[in-house]
Amino acid sequence: MCLCHQAAGGFERFTLQATSPHEAITELDHRYQTVKKNSIFVDDRTFPNAPASNSLVMMRSEVMDRRKLFVGTFYVAALSGCQGFLGRKAEVAGDSVDSDSSVVFSSVDFSDIRYQPPTLFTTELTEESGTWVRRFAGQAAPQNLEFLNRADGTWVKVHDFYPNSADPFKINPNLTLGPGGFNLAIEDRAQAGIVPDSNLIPWALNMIPFGVAIDGVILDPSGPWFDGGPADPNNPFDRQCSGWEYDPLFPIIGDLLGVVGAVGGHTQPSGLFHYHSYPKLMIANLKKSLEGTAQQNQPLLLGFSADGYPIYDCMIPAAATQKKKKIYFFSAYVLREGARQALPNTNPRLVPPGNYDGTYVQDFEYNPQKKMALIQSELRTRGSYRSMRAAEIASGAAEFRLLDRCNGFFDAELILPEFPQPVYAYVLTEDWPQIPRLLNFKPSESFRNNIIPLDARRGPGRTAFYDACGTEDPHEVHKLKGRERY
């Protein structure tokens, strides 16, 4: 691990020996006090563009959440020199493992894929007492796809990345979505023709998964809290209610959590793999399976949300639209500008230092006007925005639209093949937030309690996450908006 700061001059080497999380954090805190306040912790992989922000808490949280003590050599070094200490032997939870330090997980991408018939969930839709209920079945784990890693030219399989030096948990392929497993079910509001009112107050995720992807993998974009101080080693949800949430889409955060870029997710201690980002590899394999079929020209269903709506890919083929124009959907979120300051639903006493750079979810704001200007500028100057090309827009072959604050849309002229009438739908986007961070309605009971329970039998459930603040907290960092805990 490197303790990096911007001061000039050499490296300070020290050895950390710790027998408990508390001991490790005490020593790290002591070391932190000896260098500048804009220091950041980076592990022994290379992060050449590491920002000067206080990530001490992030690394401290990592020690807590993974119960992982790095017993070995640490360095204090200038940012420009925080590299080269690769292949260090680390002691992890008492077992000696070799860190594959050459892997920067966020940079793992694919240039080709060995196609496999997709493994998809199944659903059963029934009407129960006037309510449409959709139940899920299938494996709650990613398909073990094989792809060519653009970074080093090797063919690798998804499951081979886990465990890794940042995520020491193996994928459990035996977890299931249906009875005997997570037993997931939703009230299917789309089937019932319910369109969210734009004036509704959204529901924050509060550590509840957003939904389930079509391959059975849970969509769970949430990250750990910035806590501004020591964490409770027995409670991964304490975080002192800062209201600032680390975003695993930010490369350094994703790497520290072991989120592999091409795959888009990582594994929890239970062995449950979940997506944090747009699952490029899974979607590429799914699209290959549809080549030459009628479905290739239809909107691509990617899953269902916890509040009962379908989730689609961000590009609608021209053949599926009335105007016979391809539609690109993008979020209307943009990065805030300037230095961080207290925001609504954050604690003014615990504002992370530094500028808005994407480290935190709260670094972004919903601003359609600014996002529209950004996209148009990119089209003019670069000739593209994400996968959309300026030539497509100029020729009239395509158009783009911005989504609502929940990353969803309703188009009365667009018929989605899974439903008999136009429906509201969510979208997984190429741009931030990729997986939506808000729901229109209260998430279903099975998503609230069967994955990360409100009250867990062993260890803390989400009750501990709420208890750190209490419902009387005037800053309402959990965004309950007067609602009961859920």
Tens of pLDDT, residues 200-215: 999 999 989 999 999 9
Residue 469 maps to a domain: no
Identify the pLDDT of residue 139. Answer: 98
Q: So what's the pLDDT on residue 347?
A: 86
What average pLDDT does range 37-53 have in this prediction? Answer: 33
The model's pLDDT over 420-472, given as tens digits with 9 standing for 90+, comes to: 899 999 999 999 999 999 999 999 999 999 998 887 665 567 877 787 776 56
475 within a domain of the structure (yes/no):
no
Strand partners, 401: 329
Name which of 457, 477, 458 is nearest 467 in CA terms: 477
Q: Give yes or no for a contact between 106 and 50, defined as CB atoms under 8 angstroms apart.
A: no
- Phi, psi angle pair for 317, to nearest 5°: -60, 150
Instruction: Give me the domain span that covers residue 299.
Output: 105-456
User: Is 477 within a domain?
Assistant: no
Residues 6+ apart with CB under 8 A from 445: none
Among 219-228, 302-311, 355-364, 404-413, which is the least confidently predicted range? 219-228
In-domain check, residue 481: no
Report the predicted TM-score, pTM, of the whole model to 2 decimal places: 0.81
In this structure, which amino acid lies at residue 326? K
The count of other CB atoms within 10 Å of the CB of residue 183 is 14
End residue of a domain, out of 74, 102, 130 = 102
Asked whether the predicted pLDDT for residue 23 surpasses 60, the reply is no
337 & 205 share domain? yes
Cβ atoms of 58 and 166 closer than 8 Å: no
pLDDT bin (cut points 50, 70, 90) of residue 224 is: confident
Q: Are residues 158 and 93 in the same domain?
A: no
454 three-state secondary structure:
coil
What pLDDT, on a 0 to 100 scale, did the predictor assign at position 442?
97
pLDDT of residue 110: 84
> What is the per-residue pLDDT for 57?
32
Q: Is 370 exposed, middle or buried (0-12, 13-18, 19+ CB in 10 A)?
A: middle
473 strand-pairing partners: none
Q: Which of 44-48, 284-288, 305-309 has the lowest mean pLDDT?
A: 44-48
Mean pLDDT on 378-400? 97
Tell me what pLDDT residue 239 has: 53
Region class of 107: left (phi > 0), else alpha (psi between -120 and 50), else beta? alpha
pLDDT of residue 288: 95
Is residue 474 assigned to a domain? no
* H-run or E-run covering 463: helix 462-467
Residue 52's pLDDT is 33
Q: Cα torsion for 223, 224, 227, 233, to the nearest 10°?
A: 180
195 in the same domain as 98? no
Verify that 33 and 78 share a domain, yes or no.
Answer: yes
Helix (H) or strand (E) holding 254: helix 251-257
pLDDT at 199: 92
**CA angle 124–115–217, rounded 5-degree value:** 40
15-19, 36-40, 86-90, 186-190 — which is least confidently predicted?
Answer: 86-90
CB atoms within 10 A of CB 188: 25
Closest CA to 196 of 442, 383, 24, 5: 442
Mean pLDDT of the chain: 79
Judge contact between 166 and 183, C-beta under 8 A. Answer: no
Same domain, 57 and 192: no
Q: Which of 63, 86, 102 is the last residue of a domain?
A: 102
Q: In this predicted structure, what is the pLDDT of residue 356?
A: 96
**pLDDT class for 240, splitting at 50, 70, 90?**
low
Region 17-21 average pLDDT: 44
Neighbouring CB atoms inside 10 A of 433's CB total 20
Q: Is residue 72 part of a domain?
A: yes
Structure tokens, 477: 């960092």
Statement: residue 312 has pLDDT above 50: yes
pLDDT band at 89 (very low <50, low <70, confident <90, very high): very low
122 or 230: which leads in pLDDT: 122
Q: Please tell me whether residues 211 and 193 are part of one structural domain.
A: yes
How confident is the model over 230-237, as a mean pLDDT?
A: 53
For residue 485, being part of any structural domain is answered with: no
pLDDT at 252 (0 to 100): 84
Measured over the CA atoms of residue 335, residue 338, residue 340 and residue 342, the dihedral's sign is: negative
Residue 342 scores a pLDDT above 70: yes
Beta strands in 150-252 (DSSP E): 155-157, 185-187, 203-204, 211-213, 218-219
- Number of Cβ within 10 Å of residue 369's Cβ equals 10
* pLDDT at residue 220 in the model: 97
Q: Do both 262 and 278 map to the same domain?
A: yes
Q: Which residue has the higher pLDDT, 83 or 450?
A: 450
Number of domains in the chain: 2
Model confidence band, residue 166 (pLDDT cutoffs 50, 70, 90): confident
Please name every residue paired with 122 in a beta bridge, in sequence order, or none if there are none. 137
Last residue of a domain, one of 56, 77, 102: 102
CB 362 within 8 A of CB 407: no
Residue closest to 238 by CA, chosen among 484, 445, 460: 460
466 in any annotated domain: no
Least confident of 4-8, 121-125, 225-229: 4-8
Contacts of 449 (CB under 8 A, 6+ apart): none
How far is residue 18 CA from its own chain's centroid?
Answer: 31
pLDDT of amino acid 81: 25
- Mean pLDDT score, 129-140: 97
Q: Are 151 and 14 contained in the same domain?
A: no
* 90 and 136, same domain (yes or no): no
Of 13-27, 287-301, 346-360, which has the strongest mean pLDDT? Answer: 287-301
Q: Which residues contact 448 (CB under 8 A, 6 or more apart)?
A: 208, 306, 454, 486
Q: Are 397 and 318 in contact (CB under 8 A)?
A: yes
| 366 against 349, higher pLDDT | 366
pLDDT for the residue numbered 232: 53
Does the pLDDT of residue 180 top 50, yes or no?
yes
Residues 335, 287 share a domain = yes
Q: Quick one: 116 and 247 in the same domain? A: yes
**367 CB burial (10 A radius; 0-12, 13-18, 19+):** middle
Same domain, 96 and 144: no
d(CA 65, CA 25): 12
CA distances from 218 to 138, 310, 447, 455 (A): 12, 14, 10, 20
